[in-house]
Amino acid sequence: MTAGTTGSAAVIAGGACAFPARMDQDALWTDFFAPRLGNSRVAERLYRAAGVRHRHAVADPVVEDVSTWSTQRRMERYIDEAPGLGKEAVGAALADAGLSAEEVGMFAVVSCTGYTTPGLDIRLAADLGMPADVQRLMIGHMGCYAALPGLGAVSDYVVARRRPAVLLCLELTSLHAQPTTDDLSQVITHALFADAAAAVVLRPGDGGPGGGGLSVTDVAARTDPATSGHMRWDITDLGFRMELSPEVPAVLARHVGPLVDDLLTRHGLAVDDVGAWAVHPGGPRILDTVARELELPADALDASRTVLREYGNCSSATVLIILEELRRTGKLASGKPVVVLAFGPGLTLYAALLRGGT
């Protein structure tokens, strides 16, 4: 998808995020995990190495331990909690773009943490007042990179149909907390993941610099099926269980350079031309690997590190939260290209090239 080369483009005209209650990372360790892990120094070291200070969750384990809940009960809770967060994020994003819900032609919802039929897309479209003929798309179980194929799909719709579209990423990872054990991979999972909703509104535009937003110029992907077992999201009777291999950074190190080089080269660009980076913070080692392999300046991933520190890993919503952080700090104002990177099961890498800026 290369909308920016066709004389038209889908432009990100607005965005917003919504979060449930905030949790303090140190308090979570002291009040919940430490007693259940026998005050293990190894577990504490891994927990604190996640680089997270605060997270948000609909189910704070200190208040409400859902780890023994059935999958059915977790899904029921998802549909209780998700619509409110989704409505808040989409409503604010539409207001930011200066558009009404009645103008939306396509509504895409991304989530790997909850399932229901009728889906969240149908419930929110009706609640927000989107038209009866709005086209809807549900993207499920793709994991942390899913915002980017979602962005590609809604961008293609906007270019082809010349109508606005909305992308919502909503993840409630806290509903999939697993029973606390001495499995160190689960310690890392419990230290990283958090809940959030993030939405962007796209409208037709010319894609030129100063055109009132970031145009979605291209989306690229690369999957290494030989490493598919390194990152999994297994459905169990006790919710969805995340499995993360310590080998993930090594796999990313092999692929992230060629992926980004291919994406930039076909648009006559190089890494030095990029003005801002929105890189999914799967953890500090992931960010360190990307920075090293791409030879980025020391401060290039500051927004990603800030989001990891203050919000944790919010799965698919995270890169949209990082874009909001970049906008808040004025890093999108230069008009230089922006690269968005995310990673997930497959093992899959996705990248998007955005151009323009406000």
Q: For 357, list phi and psi in degrees, rounded to 5.
A: 130, 155
Q: Which of 17, 144, 169, 314 is catalytic?
A: 144
Q: Is 227 helix (H, G, I), strand (E, B) or coil?
A: helix
Position of tokens 């179980």?
141
CA 355 to chain centre: 20
Do 309 and 53 meet the contact criterion of CB atoms below 8 Å apart? yes
User: 239 is written with which tokens?
Assistant: 């919710």
Do 321 and 311 meet the contact criterion of CB atoms below 8 Å apart? yes
User: 241 is written with which tokens?
Assistant: 């269980």
User: 148 is written with which tokens?
Assistant: 């980017």
Catalytic annotation present for 112: no
What does the DSSP assignment read for 174-199?
Answer: GGGPPPP-S-HHHHHHHHHB-EEEEE
**Where does residue 319 rank: exposed (0-12), middle (13-18), buried (19+ CB within 10 A)?**
buried
Question: Which residues sit opposite 195 in a β-bridge?
Answer: 172
What does the DSSP assignment read for 114-173?
Answer: ---SS-HHHHHHHHHT--TT-EEEEEES-GGGTHHHHHHHHHHHHHHH---EEEEEEEEG
Please list the active-site residues. 144
